Structure 1
Amino acid sequence: MQTTATRVAAVTVTLRGVDRTFGAADGAHHVLRGIDLDVDAGEVVALLGASGCGKSTLLRLVAGLDRPSAGQVMIDGARVDGIEARAAVVFQEPRLLPWRTLAENVAFGLPDGSPRGSRHSEVTHALDTVGLGSFAGYRPRAVSGGMAQRTALARALVRRPGVLLLDEPFAALDALTRLRMQDLVDDLQRTTGATVLLVTHDVDEALQLADRVVVLAPGADRAAGSGIAHLLDVPGARPRDRADPVLAALRVELLDRLGVPRQRPLPA
């Protein structure tokens, strides 16, 4: 799909000594501990790790939907303090209002103070960008899951975010739709130049879309929370060939680090 997305001012994302703990001191649950990460403007970084290791929590901290227990989260050098206007989040579920049309749902993403005269054109452009221009008047129940998730992506894009935060946005989709959505996001990122943080459990997805992969995992003291266990630079320019043998080798490496050893053949 050829997109016509608007170029944005990409931003850097910096985390310094970030901890996140839930609960009181006598019953605290440590999720993240000592996270130090620098994401360059326009870079795509995938966050991998087992369920409960803090991937989505880290994303919420960058978006300003949550606050760190210690440390700092910064966008373009400015500390995140509350909802971050330069960030937009796409969640695992589309979270569309069922009584609103797709266009009306996208319009909810427009920044406060958007000129009334340009709102319609901005929404139309965002829907066209994700290939849904002819479905603007449809309601969510009348479209497929993949189309609903594209609508959620358009709602994020209409904000023209400097950093796009994707929290397992394709997890509920069928395999073929998921591949198409991966290609769409890859195309959109290269067109807009936005910085992207992607949470995923899919190693192949991470290698297809990311410039770097960050593996989160607990240390020897699992109760202390997760830290960055491994950083992997993914070679080659995007878009990438899914059949590239280099990616296949990296897939094995990442699965090993995630505790998923390669399958052994059955004994004869």
Structure 2
Amino acid sequence: MSTTLAPPRTSSAAGVRLRGVGRTFGARSAARGDGHVVLRDVDLDVAPGEIVAVLGPSGCGKSTLLRAVAGLDAPSRGEVLVDGAPVRGIEPRAAVAFQEPRLLPWRSLAGNVALGLPRGTSRAAGRERVAELLGLVGLADFAGHRPRSVSGGMAQRVALARALARRPGVLVLDEPFAALDALTRLKMQDLLLDVLAAAPTTVLLVTHDVEEALHLADRVVVLGAPDDGRGPGAGVRTTVRVPGQRPRDRGDARLAALRADLLAQLGVPRA
């Protein structure tokens, strides 16, 4: 995968703060306290430009947490702030890329990227921005292709370009590479780091892949039910800083102990 990167520009990265965030589904009222508690008392600070990976068992609220940051879902309690301002509804400073590319099949790749442009973007500025982004993800020669004529990895690159189209302060990635084959997934991880070097932003990444978290993230947050007797719902169980600077050597011996510890926290017994 060959990518020609633009020179780094001034970062628009935004800080994220979660304070006492909880989410309950199916509650008849806040006062009753019934319903299914997914998240409870989540406190987290993400610095501008930081990449934070979120790990945890299935059903612990990882995606729910990301949706709260992006304004796609409102917490039942607590507050989410982006650059110090509370998130109220769809967050204009955040962009989301999901596990599926979710491209419109009747639009070209360029047309799909253009969907992410801010409202009011002129036609000329939009064409320039789309061309820049397609070049950034190595797809400049495929601008006119339809989604059905490109691979899954290429489609996911288009989804990433679309998410970056309006220069978001926060990029929210919900298992964006999980559906790809192993080799393509590794290439996409490296591409993401290249893209972020050229277009810096803050990243919150949900993944089930410990290796991916250690390769991409500055910090790893593990969600899980705290052993504190406070009832159901996941909170922040552990936060660890990943040693070394991005991009990291996947074979770095310093990561071995951390990898084993994270796997143990996720219920994988030590060998």
Name the TM-score class by shorter chain: over 0.9
> Deviation of residue 53 (structure 1)?
0.5
Residue from 236, 247, 259 that aligns with 1:228: 236
Task: Report what 1:117 is aligned to.
Answer: 124
1:11 aligned residue (4, 14, 31) = 14
The answer as to whether partners of 1:29 and 1:223 remain within 8 angstroms in 2 is no
1:188 positional shift: 1.6
User: SS of 1:53's equivalent?
Assistant: coil
Q: Choose from 190, 197, 210 the match for 2:204.
A: 197
For the structure 1 residues 129 and 6, does the alpha-carbon distance in structure 2 shift closer, same or farther, using more than 3 Å as the test? farther
Q: Which residue identity is paired with 1:194?
A: T
What is the correspondence of 1:176-255 to structure 2 with a 5 Å cutoff? 176-220=183-227, 224-255=232-263
How far does residue 223 in structure 1 lie from its aligned partner after superposition?
A: 5.4
Structure 2 matches for 1:65-84, cutoff 5 A?
65-84=72-91
Q: Is the aligned partner of 1:132 residue 2:139?
A: yes
More displaced 10-residue stretch of structure 1: 160-169 or 187-196 = 187-196
Q: Residue 116 of structure 1: CA displacement?
A: 2.4
* 1:193/1:118 CA distance change after superposition, 3 Å: same
Amino acid at match of 1:247: L
Counterpart Cα distance in 1 of 2:156 and 2:138: 12
Per-residue Cα deviation, 1:54-81 (whole angstroms, up to 9, x for no partner): 0110000000011010010000100000
Alignment match of 2:48 (pick from 41, 46, 62): 41
Match in the other structure for 2:112: 105
**Cα contact 1:90–1:166 (8 A) shared by 2:** yes
Unaligned runs of 5+ in 2: none
What secondary structure does 1:225 align onto? coil
Mapped to 2, the partners of 1:222 and 1:177 lie a distance apart of: 42
Structure 2 counterpart SS, 1:224: coil
CA distance in 2, matches of 1:35, 1:24: 19
Matched, 1:30 2:37: yes
The TM-score normalised by the length of structure 2 is: 0.94
In the aligned structure 1, how far is the partner of 2:68 from the partner of 2:152?
27
Q: Aligned ranges for residues 137-156 of structure 1 at < 5 Å?
A: 137-156=144-163
Aligned equivalents of 2:36, 2:9: Cα separation in 1: 42
1:107-137: per-residue Cα shift (whole Å, max 9, x none)? 1000111122211111111111000010000
Check if 1:21 corresponds to 2:24.
yes
Is the contact between residue 4 and residue 135 of structure 2 (CA under 8 Å) also seen in structure 1? Answer: no
- Report the identity percentage: 64
> What TM-score results when the alignment is normalised by the length of structure 1?
0.95
Aligned length: 263
Structure 2: distance between partners of 1:223 and 1:192 = 42
How far does residue 186 in structure 1 lie from its aligned partner after superposition? 1.2
Q: CA deviation at 1:2?
A: 4.1
